[in-house]
Structure 1
Amino acid sequence: MTKLFDLTGRRALITGSSQGIGYALAEGLAQHGAEVIINGRTVEAVERAVETLNMKGFSAHPAIFDVTKKDAADQGVAAIEKGIGAIDILINNAGMQFRSPLEEFPADKWELLLTTNISSVFYVGQAVAKGMICRKEGKIINIASVQSELARPGIAPYTATKGAVRNLTRGMCADWAKYGLQINAIAPGYFKTPLNQALVDNPEFSSWLEKRTPAGRWGNVEELIGAAVFLSGRASSFINGHTLYVDGGITTCL
């Protein structure tokens, strides 16, 4: 039964993985046998993450390119497949947040959210899928959010992008499942990450969240690893187009 979750011999690209959720998922997949590729735009951060994983005895490589640019994504994926090897698993994790009342939301931040949170999923997903289609197999996991389902004041554009990630996941399944690919999404709830640090440090918000979430607490990034390993391995061979909410139950209380 352990073979269902064994990723030995599999190679995984995780975008935006030098810190936070992306790094946790990379380390989690490595713990289950995967060779991991750390992606980001900051050379020092990526190399530091790779060095840390290698020192722990895992196989990790850097891939420094901007996932928000189509040409960079195409070239970055091509360089990985030529220089490191075929990508068996892709986790589209790169993302950002910006908070502002909707009526005052800056247009440049809207464009930045769109390119970072949704265009990157399309660009990297398309580039990686071409190789997977030729090989007749592959796993793509897109990182959505509880905001794919819920809304909250001050983050309407972020909510729009994460709703788009959920539906793009379904669309990828509709187009690529016939080639042997499984494309699913993980929708985290509220986790303690650098992206959410301002909210973690806000006693009023943390109190609201603990009362709103059935589990009564913030999530820890390590609690996302199981979902990622499950969707990366043989155990999920007939799961496609699904969004798995890992949220302490918050979406049960609409």
Structure 2
Amino acid sequence: MYLPSFSLKGKTALVTGAGRGIGHAIAIGYAEAGADVVIVSRTQSDLEKTAEIIESKGSKAYIFEADVTNKDHIEKIFETLDSKKIRLDILVNNAGMNIRSKAMDVSDEEWNTIMNTNLRSAFWFSQKAGKRMKEAGGGKIITISSVAGHVALRTGVVYASTKAAIIQMTKNLALEWGEYGINVNSIGPWYFKTPLTEKLLANEEYLNDILAVTPQKRVGELPDLVGPAVFLASEASNYVNGQTLFVDGGMTIQGF
């Protein structure tokens, strides 16, 4: 049979930042594909709403209210999964944030907050998951980067630095862990309609600037991102490793 399976039935995925936006959509998409989902966020009420939808799809939801920048919280999540004998097949490092300060105005606090949320947490979750996946004989790790990690944008230097680092971290982890059957890839979105981008996209001038450099002349809808996330988590991507898949309407392909 040449058509690989996109089903995630029998798998368990962990998604950080799963309370809202991209993480929420991916968690639900994984449930629709058959996976049970471990959802992580700082806000219990958001997690409960996500869990309710996951369970309505016939999958199990495991809730962890946690701060991904706190290594003790990360340790506790994996200790609990181990104690409950919950196997981890898929990890999605989605938690992220931005503070749009200009380079000359960035404070130490802003630098540390963005770095810890976007990059440090992704590494620690990957390390914890990687050890378990090695013992289990394989797994899939997906980290959400951004087109800002590939081209220069008005998103702020610290955010862009974390997203570029994620692209390189993806390559290095794939190189180290490929022999263990662990596929490590990332997704680089452009603008998507989420609660975090709502105010920006409501600015007509800003929106027109985005559309002017997007060949498809629209911003992304969350289903546009869920499909690639399911692909990278499924058997369909078993020979895809160390790559960043830009889901950007063609934004990054342009020259002058």
Say whether the fold is shared (TM-score over 0.5).
yes
Equivalent in the alignment of 1:160: 161
Moved over 4 A (4+): none
Contact 1:77 1:124 in 2 (8 A): no
1:189-246 per-residue CA deviation (whole Å, 9 max, x = no partner) reads 1111122122111110101111110010110111111111111111111111000000
1:124-146 per-residue CA deviation (whole Å, 9 max, x = no partner) reads 11111111011111100010100
Change (3 A) 1:230 1:212: same
Deviation at 1:3, TM superposition (A): 5.3
Change (3 A) 1:94 1:84: farther
User: C-alpha distance in 2, partners of 1:192/1:245?
Assistant: 16
Which amino acid in structure 1 is aligned with residue 170 of structure 2?
T
Deviation at 1:248, TM superposition (A): 0.1
User: C-alpha distance in 1, partners of 2:52/2:178?
Assistant: 35
Equivalent in the alignment of 1:69: 70
Contact 1:74 1:124 in 2 (8 A): no
Equivalent in the alignment of 1:247: 248
Equivalent in the alignment of 2:88: 87
User: C-alpha distance in 2, partners of 1:2/1:86?
Assistant: 26
Deviation at 1:84, TM superposition (A): 5.6
Q: Does 1:60 align with 2:98?
A: no
Change (3 A) 1:197 1:106: farther
Equivalent in the alignment of 2:97: 96
Indicate the percent of aligned positions where both proteins have the same amino acid: 38
Equivalent in the alignment of 1:177: 178
Equivalent in the alignment of 1:120: 121
User: C-alpha distance in 1, partners of 2:79/2:34?
Assistant: 23
Q: Does 1:205 align with 2:206?
A: yes
* Structure 2 unaligned blocks of 5 or more: none
1:60-106 per-residue CA deviation (whole Å, 9 max, x = no partner) reads 22122222122221221221232261110000000001112211122
Deviation at 1:159, TM superposition (A): 0.3
Superposition CA RMSD, Å: 1.4
Equivalent in the alignment of 2:20: 19
Equivalent in the alignment of 2:40: 39
User: C-alpha distance in 2, partners of 1:199/1:208?
Assistant: 11
Deviation at 1:163, TM superposition (A): 0.3
Equivalent in the alignment of 1:151: 152
